[in-house]
Amino acid sequence: MRRDDAQILEEMERQHKLGDLVRRTLRAISMGRIDQAENYAGQAQELAPDTTTVEELLGDLAMAKGHYEDAREHYERALEIEPINEDAEEKLGEAVIKIREGTDVIERMEDAVENPDEYRGFHKNPVIAAIYSIIPGAGQLYNQQYEKGLAMAAGAILLFAWALSEIVAYTGASMIAGARNSRLATEQAQQVMEGYGPLMWTLITLAIVAYLAILAYSIWDAYHTCARMKKEADEFGVEVVSEG
């Protein structure tokens, strides 16, 4: 066998073994077997050090361990080796977000110590927040998101009021137009009804759909925001007053 052929065969065997170690590492991570994953990742690093595959793998392992700074460094190293690596770039973004979230938690804990008046015991319930949101925006007000709550309430009220007024006007005109009482302005009522063509009914339908969308979002947002606040309260031991 020529020397070049032997090198090619050796490289193929190395890549095959590396691929197997990567699969084993990722499987161990998914199963929560971090010690086993570290063992496989260590073997992969010995087999192919300073490669984008191994650096990305080490980043995945660091993320699983909650070591986000280490993960960021590994993903950045992977991108240095292979700048066009969409997976590593996406994972780097996730690591940066985790780091930022951790920084926010620390800052809020420090702020809670320095400004205890802005923090208090958590007494809100996500289910109650969702129930309040049957009136759009009320759940946000319950969560102390005053600007968002007022904006959602104003938008929903305007849409609902306009659609309801148009439907009532059409219904009233329809009743008058069909009445036999000569003193009623049946001709004027008929003219009003004629003004409700396809365009007007489309606008009314869109207004109703928009109102229902705001209602659904209000319920969803109020519940999940309150649940997030509750989670933060469990982490801090205090309730963080919502911002906006």
Q: Which residue is associated with the tokens 């509750």?
A: 230
Question: Measured between alpha carbons, how far apart are the two ends of the chain, in Å?
Answer: 73
Q: Which helix (H) or strand (E) holds 115?
A: none
Find out whether 57 and 44 touch, Cβ atoms under 8 Å: yes
Q: Which amino acid is at 99?
A: I
Report pLDDT for 10. 79
Separation of alpha carbons 138 and 158, rounded Å? 15
200 or 209, which is more confident? 209
Report pLDDT for 229. 79
127 or 183, which is more confident? 127
Q: Is the pLDDT of residue 145 over 80?
A: yes
Report pLDDT for 169. 83
- The values of phi and psi at residue 138, to 5°, are -65, -35
Angle at 73 between CA 67 and CA 78, to 5 degrees: 125
Instruction: Say which DSSP state 172 is in.
Output: H
Separation of alpha carbons 124 and 139, rounded Å? 11
Q: Is the pLDDT of residue 37 over 80?
A: yes
Q: Is the pLDDT of residue 166 over 50?
A: yes
Mean pLDDT lowest for which of 20-29, 122-131, 165-174, 179-188?
Answer: 179-188
Report pLDDT for 243. 45
Mean pLDDT score, 122-137:
86
Separation of alpha carbons 138 and 176, rounded Å? 38
Average pLDDT, rounded, for the chain:
81
Find out whether 96 and 76 touch, Cβ atoms under 8 Å: no
52-88 tens-digit pLDDT: 999 999 999 999 998 988 999 999 999 999 888 888 8
The strand pairing partners of 239, in sequence order, are 120
Q: Is the pLDDT of residue 167 over 60?
A: yes
240 or 201, which is more confident? 201
Separation of alpha carbons 19 and 1, rounded Å? 26
Report pLDDT for 159. 92
- Per cent of the chain over pLDDT 70 is 76
Q: Is the pLDDT of residue 7 over 90?
A: no
Mean pLDDT score, 189-201:
76
Q: pTM value?
A: 0.47
204-224 tens-digit pLDDT: 999 999 999 999 999 999 999
Q: Which helix (H) or strand (E) holds 226?
A: helix 198-236
* Tokens encoding 103: 């920084």
Q: Around Cβ 175, how many Cβ atoms within 10 Å? A: 11
87-109 tens-digit pLDDT: 888 998 888 888 877 666 556 65
